[in-house]
């Protein structure tokens, strides 16, 4: 999320009631996660395992729960609970706007676009030309939709990220302030759910087609001309390069990258990266040819056990 106006390190330290290291006038222009950070962004880190990665990232400002030396060119905010204080910043700068009507007056809707009955369009949404939005679709605030996009009934774009911190008293939700971006010539089936980024964008690339009941988690990036069959579930921060095909009921864990032109066969559970052009299958998914050989070999296992007995 980009801030409407830049904030200084001293200003944010005062807002949060924390100490800091770095120049008081050090500028912060956005809030972001480590997967998406750019120069000018602030990110948080609250586990020693990720301190070095955070400090060496592109982020210019780090909200951290350990007093460490400040790297050159960066600013540090020292907090006893970075997760809590990051949420405070989201609440301060990602201002919630109540919906006053079904189609917000701040929405921009292109020529030739049709909205069927029951469609909800939130604040500051942009929809391009010649789109067809079917009944009861919900398009939440700041979503961006390109030209010639079709979205079928009951789909929801822009729900919050599924991101929680477990505490003794229960689960603490990380507030979302990102967007959903749907590029040109995309078709999205009925009853799909595409969550907005925690602080960046969840993207569906130009020409991609999603079947019914597909779920796309926060900050996931789907490339151009991908095919995703029914009941596929993509966790947060998944990357699909161009021309990827996922068949029905494939599940993909967070932070997995699927290379260009790769295929994952139906009902596979994918927990690791897939190289470009490869076909994977099974749970846990492996290269399809190897997986088929192993499954074929299993039919001989009872006979081998019986012989050994």
What is the spatial distance between Cα 249 and Cα 31, in angstroms, rounded to a whole number?
Answer: 34
Helix (H) or strand (E) holding 307: helix 301-308
Name the token pair of 113.
């676009």
Active-site annotation holds for 114? no
Answer for the pair 209, 187: CB distance below 8 angstroms, yes or no.
Answer: yes
- Check 35, 215, 218, 243 and give the catalytic one: 218
SS3 of residue 187 by DSSP: strand
Q: Give the residue ranges of DSSP H helices in 73-223.
A: 82-93
Name the token pair of 210.
């999603």
Burial class (CB in 10 A: 0-12, 13-18, 19+), 65: middle
Number of residues in the chain: 309
Please identify which residue in the block is written with the tokens 């120049």: 23
3-state SS, one letter per residue, for 208-270: CEECCCCEECCCCEECCCCEECCCCEECCCCEECCCCEECCCCEECCCCEECCCCEECCCCEE
- For the chain, first and last CA: distance in Å? 65
What amino acid positions are annotated as catalytic residues? 218
């Amino acid at each position: 999320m980009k801030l409407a106006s830049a904030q200084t390190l001293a200003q944010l330290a005062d807002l949060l009631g924390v100490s800091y290291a770095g120049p008081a006038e050090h500028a912060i222009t956005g809030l972001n996660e480590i997967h998406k950070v750019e120069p000018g962004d602030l990110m948080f880190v609250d586990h020693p395992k990720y301190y070095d990665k955070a400090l060496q990232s592109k982020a210019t400002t780090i909200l951290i729960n350990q007093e460490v030396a400040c790297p050159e060119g960066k600013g540090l905010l020292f907090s006893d609970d970075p997760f809590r204080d990051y949420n405070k910043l989201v609440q301060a700068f990602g201002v919630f706007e109540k919906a006053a009507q079904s189609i917000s007056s701040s929405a921009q809707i292109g020529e030739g676009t049709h909205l069927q009955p029951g469609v909800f369009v939130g604040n500051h949404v942009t929809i391009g030309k010649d789109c067809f939005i079917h009944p009861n679709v919900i398009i939440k605030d700041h979503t961006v939709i390109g030209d010639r996009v079709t979205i079928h009934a009951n789909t929801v774009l822009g729900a919050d990220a599924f991101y929680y911190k477990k505490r003794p008293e229960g689960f603490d939700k990380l507030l979302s302030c990102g967007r959903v971006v749907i590029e040109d010539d995309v078709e999205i089936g009925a009853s799909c759910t595409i969550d907005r980024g925690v602080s960046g964008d969840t993207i569906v690339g130009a020409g991609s087609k999603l079947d019914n009941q597909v779920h796309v988690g926060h900050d996931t990036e789907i490339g151009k001309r991908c095919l995703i069959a029914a009941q596929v579930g993509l966790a947060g921060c998944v990357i699909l390069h161009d021309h990827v095909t996922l068949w029905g009921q494939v599940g993909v864990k967070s932070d997995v990258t699927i290379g260009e032109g790769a295929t994952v066969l139906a009902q596979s559970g994918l927990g690791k990266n897939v190289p470009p052009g490869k076909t994977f299958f099974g749970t846990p998914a492996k290269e399809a040819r190897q997986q088929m050989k192993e499954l074929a070999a299993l039919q001989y296992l009872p006979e081998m056990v019986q012989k050994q007995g």
